[in-house]
Amino acid sequence: MGGKKTWKDNLLSSSVPMEFEVSKLLVKHGFSTSADYSYTRHGAQARDDFSVDLEASIYLPFRRPNEITTELHLLVECKHRHRNNKWLFFPDPNPGGFSPFTLGRTPRVVDDFAPVMLDDRHSVAFDNKSIFCIKGVEIDLNNGSVYDAEIRKGLSQLQYALPRLVTEAIEWNLGCHPEECYPFLYCPVLLTTSEIFVAKADTTIESVERAETLPDLATPAPWVVVYCEQTQDFQ
């Protein structure tokens, strides 16, 4: 009886209550949101339809409709996990010149289709405060299992939804009068209820073997930026 899931457990694990709560929070801060942002992914043999949980957009500056300079688009994929599930990410070990990350690309600025150029110093400043990671895994402290399927799936869903988002934003600008064309920013977000940890830079096989608890080899982080490789199909 103790291990049986209740309807509440199953409802929470569906992430729908989380999506609703996140959507309300975004609306509270001025965003317009929509659920199940769909896209089509073409495979070798067929095409499949998928979706990202939430799409949100807002004109900037916040709450100043008479001074619009740009538009921000967010794609948010929600992952509700149980309280003893932790997400552990491993930092990028490459020195700056060899890192796959480019500063200013997390909130990505696109101003090629508007009559003005947008200064990217704010997006660069955001990245300067971020922790860049190359891979993440889930650790279930209840049963000791370690896996990365949900993280990889979430990142892939966001990646494959981006072409539709960017294309529609470009087409909107191309169909507008010049005074109605704004540069835009977009940012995909994989959101989780799990506590996020980042492995210490000196983590080794030996240090993992010696660790008694997760904080012995990792430190909590509010968010991380994760690199997602472009597959041949995506390109």
Instruction: Please give the residue range of the domain that contains residue 154.
Output: 7-226
What are the residues whose beta carbons fall under 8 Å from the beta carbon of 171, sequence distance 6 or more? none
Q: What is the pLDDT of residues 19-66, one digit of tens each?
A: 999 999 999 999 999 999 999 877 655 567 799 999 999 998 887 777
With beta carbons less than 8 A apart as the criterion, state whether 165 and 51 touch.
Answer: no
Question: Is 52 domain-assigned?
Answer: yes
pLDDT tops 70 at residue 2: no
Question: Is 231 domain-assigned?
Answer: no
pLDDT tops 50 at residue 1: no
What length does the chain have? 235
What are the residues whose beta carbons fall under 8 Å from the beta carbon of 16, sequence distance 6 or more? none
What's the rounded Cα separation, in Å, for the pair 231 and 228? 9
Number of domains in the chain: 1
Please give the model's pTM, rounded to 2 decimal places. Answer: 0.90
Which pLDDT belongs to residue 165?
Answer: 95
Question: Is 138 domain-assigned?
Answer: yes
Question: Is 2 domain-assigned?
Answer: no
91, amino acid identity: P
pLDDT tops 80 at residue 186: yes
The average pLDDT across 197-215 equals 97
What's the rounded Cα separation, in Å, for the pair 225 and 235? 21
Question: Is 234 domain-assigned?
Answer: no
What are the residues whose beta carbons fall under 8 Å from the beta carbon of 211, sequence distance 6 or more? 217
Give the Cα-Cα-Cα angle 141, 199, 102 (nearest 5 degrees).
130
What's the rounded Cα separation, in Å, for the pair 191 and 208? 27
What's the rounded Cα separation, in Å, for the pair 201 and 2? 40
Looking at 93-102, 126-135, 192-201, which range is the least confident one?
93-102
The average pLDDT across 197-201 equals 97
